[in-house]
């Protein structure tokens, strides 16, 4: 029998992470680029496909896709173009190749998707994986985070990504659709709001959305005692200093009210006997959990509903893929056989 390699994959809008049973742990920005012409291809060393940050950095020479953003995997009812589907497939194959599985190995993967991934979204993932993975199980991303950290009892996981904030009630079993909520105020929406606020207050400042994201990642805070944010932005080409403190706070805080509403909804519809326990067991994950003071701000907002306790995961980059691998390793073999993909048939 061939060797079995298990993979945990967190397929995110901005970042895709892999943890494998071969001991590999890696993360790549979810960008895929294709050279625009033969000059671009030469510049890229003859390569047909460029991934991650390298694709973003060379975007003048490449047609760059951020294929999960706004697509069927993330947004209910969204349709993917053929080009987007190809980019997702290329991204998945690139990530799977990082596991360095021996030729002929059987590959089983658990892929984390948003809490309420649609049927189309799941189908897109299965299609993307068909050529490189033997059997795929799509699971709720926040559930994977909880599973990886053994938070399996009356926990509320909040996974703050780039495209979505996914919430999931975990209570000792695989979650059902009614255990999950998703809202779209996450990293990308914060970047967009911050960009709008800067434009409104300082119309003379020049910046791109990537610059705004970098500023946010350096200073993101909803702490009442946050450090001041002074950043240089060009004005008619001349670097100029701007005070962005209030704007960064405001943009980051926009995440709190919809998250509290979703949390409260998941708590209120849970067995009343266990509601207090769940409120006291909120776990924040995803890149957005790096916003300074977010746990405290959520605790403060929960006071109105009887209080709560919030913890933050230590390694947001890998919490999802580590958990997905753990689910994969714990899954009975018979289960995998039910989900066989087309890979073997084509081999």
Ligand X SMILES: Nc1ncnc2c1ncn2[C@@H]1O[C@H](COP(=O)(O)OP(=O)(O)OP(=O)(O)O)[C@@H](O)[C@H]1O
Give me the residues that bind Mg ion (CB under 5 A), please.
12, 161
Contact between 16 and 27 (Cβ < 8 Å):
yes
Residue nearest to ligand X (CB): 187
Choose among 198, 195, 230: nearest CA to 213: 195
Is 220 near ligand X (CB under 6 A)?
yes
Q: Which one of 61, 164, 182, 341 is in contact with ligand X (CB under 6 A)? A: 164
Q: Which is nearer to ligand X, 77 or 104 (CB)?
A: 77
H helix runs in the chain, sequence order:
38-43, 52-57, 82-97, 119-129, 141-148, 187-201, 209-219, 245-253, 256-268, 275-279, 294-302, 316-330, 333-338, 343-346
The tokens for 75 are 């947004």
CA torsion angle 38 42 46 49 (round to 10): -70
Is 161 near ligand X (CB under 6 A)?
yes
Q: Which is nearer to ligand X, 44 or 96 (CB)?
A: 96
The option from Mg ion, ligand X, none interacting with 291 (CB < 5 to 8 A, set by class) reads ligand X
Q: Which one of 99, 129, 162, 255 is in contact with ligand X (CB under 6 A)? A: 162
Q: Which one of 52, 121, 163, 293 is in contact with ligand X (CB under 6 A)? A: 163
Contact between 30 and 24 (Cβ < 8 Å):
no
Choose among 181, 159, 212, 194: nearest CA to 324: 159
Q: Which is nearer to ligand X, 164 or 259 (CB)?
A: 164
Give the separation between CA 153 and CA 304, rounded to whole angstroms: 24
Q: Which one of 6, 8, 14, 313 is in contact with ligand X (CB under 6 A)? A: 14
Is 319 near ligand X (CB under 6 A)?
no
Q: Which one of 216, 295, 321, 323 is in contact with ligand X (CB under 6 A)? A: 216
Question: Half-sphere exposure (CA, 13 Å, Cβ side) for 325?
Answer: 23
Q: Which one of 213, 222, 259, 326 is in contact with ligand X (CB under 6 A)? A: 213
Is 25 near ligand X (CB under 6 A)?
no
Is 187 near ligand X (CB under 6 A)?
yes
Q: In sequence order, what are the residues at sequence separation of 6 or more whose Cβ sits closer than 8 angstroms to the Cβ of residue 297? A: 222, 223, 253, 256
Site string for ligand X, 66-105 (x = CB under 6 A): --x-----x-------------------------------
Contact between 132 and 151 (Cβ < 8 Å):
no
Q: Which one of 9, 50, 186, 248 is in contact with ligand X (CB under 6 A)? A: 186
The option from Mg ion, ligand X, none interacting with 139 (CB < 5 to 8 A, set by class) reads none
What is the torsional sign of CA 294, 299, 303, 306? positive
Is 288 near ligand X (CB under 6 A)?
yes
Contacting range for ligand X; rule: CB under 6 A; set: 12-20, 51-59, 80-88, 301-309: 12-20
């Amino acid at each position: 029998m061939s060797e079995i390699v298990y993979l945990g994959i967190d397929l995110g809008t901005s970042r895709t992470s892999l943890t494998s049973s071969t001991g590999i742990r890696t993360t790549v920005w979810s960008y895929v680029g294709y050279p625009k012409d033969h000059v671009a291809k030469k510049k890229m060393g003859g390569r047909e496909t460029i991934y991650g940050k390298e694709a973003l950095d060379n975007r003048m020479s490449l047609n760059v896709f951020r294929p999960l953003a706004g697509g069927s995997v993330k947004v209910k009812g969204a349709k993917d173009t053929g080009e987007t589907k190809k980019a997702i497939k290329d991204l998945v194959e690139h990530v799977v190749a990082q596991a360095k599985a021996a030729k002929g190995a059987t590959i089983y993967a658990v892929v984390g998707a948003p809490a309420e991934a649609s049927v189309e979204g799941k189908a897109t993932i299965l299609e993307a994986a068909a050529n490189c993975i033997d059997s795929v199980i799509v699971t709720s991303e926040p559930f994977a985070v909880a599973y990886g950290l053994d938070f399996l009892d009356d926990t509320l996981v909040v996974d703050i990504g780039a495209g979505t904030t996914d919430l999931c009630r975990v209570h000792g079993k695989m979650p059902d659709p009614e255990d999950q909520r998703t809202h779209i105020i996450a990293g990308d929406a914060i970047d967009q709001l911050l960009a709008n606020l800067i434009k409104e207050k300082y119309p003379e400042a020049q910046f791109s959305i990537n610059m705004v994201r970098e500023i946010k990642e350096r200073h993101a805070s909803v702490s009442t005692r946050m450090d001041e944010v002074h950043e240089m932005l060009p004005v008619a080409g001349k670097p100029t200093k701007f005070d962005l403190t209030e704007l960064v706070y405001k943009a980051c805080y926009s995440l709190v009210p919809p998250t509290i509403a979703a949390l409260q909804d998941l708590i209120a519809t849970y067995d009343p006997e266990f509601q207090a326990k769940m409120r006291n067991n909120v776990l924040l994950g995803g890149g957005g959990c790096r916003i300074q003071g977010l746990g405290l701000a959520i605790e403060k907002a929960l006071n109105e509903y009887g209080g709560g306790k919030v913890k933050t995961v230590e390694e947001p980059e890998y919490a999802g893929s580590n958990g997905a691998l753990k689910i994969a390793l714990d899954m009975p073999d018979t289960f995998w056989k039910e989900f066989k993909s087309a890979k073997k048939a084509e081999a």
